Amino acid sequence: MTQLLEIAAAAARLIVDEGMEYDQAKRRAARDFGARVELPDSATVEAAVREHIAIFCADTQPAELRALREVALLWMERLAEFHPHLAGAAWRGTATRLSALRIELYADDGKAPEIALINAGVDYDVDSLPAGHGPGGRHRREPIPVLTVASRSAELNDIVTVHLIIHDLDDLRGALKPDADGQSWRGDAAALQARMAGAAA
């Protein structure tokens, strides 16, 4: 096994077993290999995550994934005016009960989703992602706002962390560009329901 694959496998264990995000898991997994080691790309890590799930979590992960997607649908329905799209592990099918949900919102007014949560009496935390390229490929000079809420899942009997990531409405046009394998990085509520129906069939 090459060093990159070893790091990817170690990162996969951290992602599945501890609920780490990809970037954090890659850096943690690489520590044992030295400061200047090359990190695997996210596609390599995702493949390792799928392999880890197939070996160690095949009997529990599908139900956990469905429960997380049900929570995602609930929030996507609540925030439908902001064109919500599910991204991350829950969309790609690699989430477990420890995974946080990533729901991307698109709004002309970046404060509008926050106001909607306030009006609904929802408690939330405010954070941000570094400036960079949005889903549509447009460069953002300012940090990307993130609102984080806690949502209980009856199926999991646990609290699910939901990150609401707020993008400019113009980013929506390029949001569905596929990855190198032709798979989408995110999907709206209808696409998520279709994916859930396919998994249940």
Residue tagged 């046009």 (tokens) = 173
pLDDT of residue 137: 58
Distance of alpha carbon 109 from its chain centroid, rounded? 23
Q: How many helical (H) and strand (E) elements, i.e. helices and strands, does the chain have? A: 7, 6
Predicted confidence at residue 1, as pLDDT, reads 57
Q: How many Å apart are CA 91 and CA 106, to the nearest integer? A: 17
How do beta strands 144-153 and 85-87 pair? unpaired
Does position 63 have pLDDT exceeding 80, yes or no?
yes
**195 close to 187: Cβ distance less than 8 angstroms:** yes
Residue 111, classified by CB atoms within 10 Å of its CB into exposed (0-12), middle (13-18) or buried (19+), is exposed
Closest CA to 29 of 19, 39, 16: 39
CA 101 – CA 42 distance, rounded (Å)? 17
Res 201: pLDDT: 67
- Say if CB 115 and CB 82 are below 8 A apart: no
Is the pLDDT reported for residue 4 higher than 70? yes
Question: Helices (DSSP H) in the chain: which residue ranges?
Answer: 3-18, 22-30, 42-56, 61-78, 88-92, 112-119, 189-200
Cα first-last separation, the chain: 36
Supply the DSSP symbol for 38: P
Q: Which residue has the higher pLDDT, 29 or 37?
A: 29
What pLDDT was estimated at residue 159? 97
Q: Considering the entire predicted model, what is its pTM?
A: 0.91
